[in-house]
Amino acid sequence: MTTRLITLLAALSLLATAAFAETAADIRRRMAERLPQLDDLRARAIVGENNRGYVELRANEAGADALVQAENRDRALVYEMIAKQTGATAEQVGQNRAEDIAQQARPGVWLQDKSGKWYRK
């Protein structure tokens, strides 16, 4: 999961323009702060990574919903920034990111394939 964060942060750094600098830095900070909690939830199969590049609840856990919502809001902002820089849509960026996440995920993490079927890596 650390490799994923580093890759995402590098993409943000490269793609963020001066107009997005403060926003990108805020997003990076928030995502980095959430990463240990998300890794724990992934390891315990509370959350999985869907095929659109977002975290999705797979089981109930106190506080997990708010964490997932916050992460997904920031991911949506990142995908929008990247889309503006590349000419792609945010949906395409998210789907591409989902493929990267699936490749880099640790064993046992819940993932969703392109057809929508959930599986454990």
The reported pLDDT for the residue numbered 90 is: 97
Amino acid occupying residue 20: F
CA 110 vs CA 20, 56, 57, 62, 94: distances in Å: 32, 9, 10, 19, 17
Kindly report the pTM of this predicted structure. Answer: 0.81
Could you give the residue ranges of the DSSP H alpha helices within the chain? 2-15, 21-43, 64-86, 90-104
Domain locations in the chain as residue ranges:
2-120
Nearest CA among 98, 77, 71 for reference residue 16:
77
pLDDT in tens, 12-70: 555 554 445 568 899 999 999 999 999 999 999 999 999 999 999 999 999 999 999 99
